[in-house]
Structure 1
C-alpha cells in the first residue's frame, strides 16, 4: 500500500526509505517537490517562492533508533 504524500511515519531505521525524507526541518526546493509543497506550503519555514521546509521532529524521537519520516511520493490525498 502506497503512503499518502505528506504522511508522517515513525521508522526503526537509521536511514529514510526511498521516497521518504527525515523530518528534520531541512529546506527543499519547491520546483523539485511541487506536490508536497501544494499540501504543506511553507508552514514549517522557507520563503514560499523557491523553498519550503519539512517539519522538524528530531526532538520528538522516542529513541535514537527511531526516526520520523515524511512521504515525498505516493498517493495524493483527496478531501472526499
Structure 2
C-alpha cells in the first residue's frame, strides 16, 4: 500500500529524508511545489498564503528515540472520506 498524502510516519533513521516525504520540523515551503499536501493542511501549521508559503508540523523532540524522525508525505494516494 502506498502512503497517503498528508500521512505522518516515524522513520528509524535521521541520515536522509526519503523521496516523497518532508521532515516534520516546522519548515516553510512554497505551496506551489507541494500542492496536494497544501490542499490538505493549508496554513494550519504556519506560513502565509499571501507569500505562497505553508509550514509542515513541527514534531521535533516528539520522537521516541533521537535516532528517529517524523516525516509527512507529499505524494501518494489521496485520502477519501468514507
- TM bin, normalised by shorter chain, reads over 0.9
Offset at 1:39?
0.3
- Give the corresponding residue for 1:12: 12
* Structure 2 unaligned spans of 5+: none
Q: CA RMSD in A?
A: 0.9
* Structure 1 unaligned spans of 5+: none
Runs of 4+ in structure 1 over 2 Å off: none
Q: TM-score, normalised by structure 2?
A: 0.92
Structure 2 Cα separation of the partners of residues 78 and 42 of structure 1 = 21
Q: TM-score, normalised by structure 1?
A: 0.94
- Give the corresponding residue for 2:56: 54
Q: Tell me how many residue pairs correspond in the alignment.
A: 80
1:23-78 CA-to-partner distances (Å, cap 9, x unmatched) read 00000111111110010010000002300000000020111111001011100101
Structure 1 Cα separation of the partners of residues 5 and 74 of structure 2 = 6
